[in-house]
Amino acid sequence: MKLIKAKDYDSMSRKAANIIAAQLILKPDSVLGLATGSSPVGIYRQLIEWYRDGDIDFAACSTVNLDEYAGLTADNKQSYAWFMQTNLFDHVNITSKNINIPNGANPDADGECARYNQVIGDVGGVDLQLLGIGHNGHIGFNEPGDAFEKDTHCVALAQSTIDANARFFGPGETVPTHAYTMGIRSIMSARKILLIATGEAKADILYKAMCGSITPAVPASVLQLHSDVTVVADQAALAKFEAAGVKVSSH
Ligand code: F6R
């Protein structure tokens, strides 16, 4: 695992965006695994800027998003499909048929998860998977549990995740309780993984996930078993690593 320290959120976003840009430059038809949430917004902003400057091109790439809320249609402003359109896809030259996100509007959970597993297989697997980390160690929406979840499945969100997500929903809007998510096996099948973390609220869980026991109780800890993981985090999120004397590179 490679740990890269950034001084703040903007610097973390630029460093992580550089890794994604390099992937696209070296392999224009890459399959990018993408995430939503607040952590990757700065990365997407940076990628859009480099696209406008003519430095990167999305024409040949495909994307596979990690997850989507069950029960939300793609035109619902709280859906992850909407998030991806407004934060990235509307601003770059990606081909819409190359965009893949679980269909939250499909009430047939088993059917939707099977379809999504097929999609991931059909695109040839993920070249570079971007991940954020939840306060409880979740990746995608793989919540702490008794076993590592496998492929795409429907999950009941932990109360702490529902509470954390509530900040994106207005008064009177129902915060979804279920989601379709790529499983741990789907994530671990990616050829490369890029995990980002920002802020002191992530310091404990990031350290536990990367340096603690590998256990389904901390889903991100499974990443210790992947052969090509890069963690880009800001100083605040890396506080525990430095305190424990773990070597962290600045580039
Ligand atoms: C989002 C996702 C989640 C988030 C995690 C961190 O697609 O899969 O695992 O990455 O909840 O969210 P933020 O970045 O908002 O702290």
Share in percent of the chain as helix, strand, coil (round to 5): 40, 20, 45
42-66 burial, b for 16+ CB within 10 Å, e for fewer?
Answer: bbbbbbbebbeeeebebeebbbbbb
Q: Can 136 be counted among the known catalytic residues?
A: yes
- The residue from 106, 127, 138, 149 that is catalytic is 138
Contacts of 73 (CB under 8 A, 6+ apart): 79, 104, 105
Our answer to whether residue 234 is catalytic in this structure is: no
Residue 152 C-alpha from the chain's centroid = 14
Q: Can you tell me which atom of ligand 1 is nearest the CA of 37?
A: 15
CA distance 157 to 110: 17
Q: How many A from CA of 132 to the centre of ligand 1?
A: 5
Q: Tally helices (H) and strands (E) across the chain.
A: 8, 10
How would you write the pLDDT of the chain (251 residues) with one tens digit per residue?
A: 999 999 999 999 999 999 999 999 999 999 999 999 999 999 999 999 999 999 999 999 999 999 999 999 999 999 999 999 999 999 999 999 999 999 999 999 999 999 999 999 999 999 999 999 999 999 999 999 988 988 999 999 888 888 888 888 888 888 899 999 999 999 999 999 999 999 999 999 999 999 999 999 999 999 999 999 999 999 999 999 988 988 888 87
pTM of the model: 0.96
Residue whose CA lies nearest to ligand 1 atom number 2: 140
Ligand 1 center to 251 CA (angstroms): 24
φ/ψ (deg, to 5) at 176: -60, 150
Going edge to edge, which strands form the sheet with 67-69? 67-69, 178-181, 153-156
